[in-house]
Amino acid sequence: MLVKDLMTTGISCVKETATLKQVAKQMKQENVGLIPVCNDKGEVLGVVTDRDLVLRALAREIGDHAGEKNADQNAAGAFSDLKAGDVMSSDIICASPDMNTHHAALLLAKYQIRRLPVTQNGKLVGMLSMADIARKPVFVDEAGDALSAICAAAPGNPIM
């Protein structure tokens, strides 16, 4: 089975200049934990996860200790001033629609991530999640193996 047979299509994205408030609102409306960041051509520049919002943005705002602001916050500005481009993960692993789903599951496990943007000719065409793979009975074991690898991630490793 191929990625295009399981992926979710109609994925919306944001630009690098979108405010984090806009990103969070879009995540809530779409009930997702990841929003791709794309340029005007639809090319994926990065992704913002719910984890990015908390660890890279909100933690910056509250500082490392109560009552003090950390250096990152002072350099980048307040939470309300941060944009998607300021907190996005930019080393993105993508799948292609014609990739074998087994290979995509191996990528999820290898890079300890839960979602893969799917691109064709450099443009975002969908998203493949571990849940998409697990919904097919034939792939339940692969999804379990990928989840086991993700859960074994060392503390501090970002999980998308």
Reported as a single tens digit per residue, the pLDDT across 8-54 is 999 999 999 999 999 999 999 999 999 999 999 999 999 999 988 88
Contact by Cβ (8 Å): 26, 148: no
Can you tell me which residue has the tokens 């064709």?
120
Reported as a single tens digit per residue, the pLDDT across 5-17 is 999 999 999 999 9
Reported as a single tens digit per residue, the pLDDT across 51-60 is 888 887 776 6
Q: What is the CATH number of domain 3-151?
A: 3.10.580.10
Contact by Cβ (8 Å): 48, 35: yes
Q: Judging by DSSP bridges, how do beta strands 115-120 and 123-129 pair with one another? A: antiparallel
Reported as a single tens digit per residue, the pLDDT across 100-146 is 999 999 999 999 999 999 999 999 999 999 989 888 765 545 545 55
CA distance 112 to 88: 17
* Helix, strand or coil, per DSSP, at residue 146: helix
Contact by Cβ (8 Å): 80, 63: no
Mean pLDDT, rounded, for 75-96 = 83
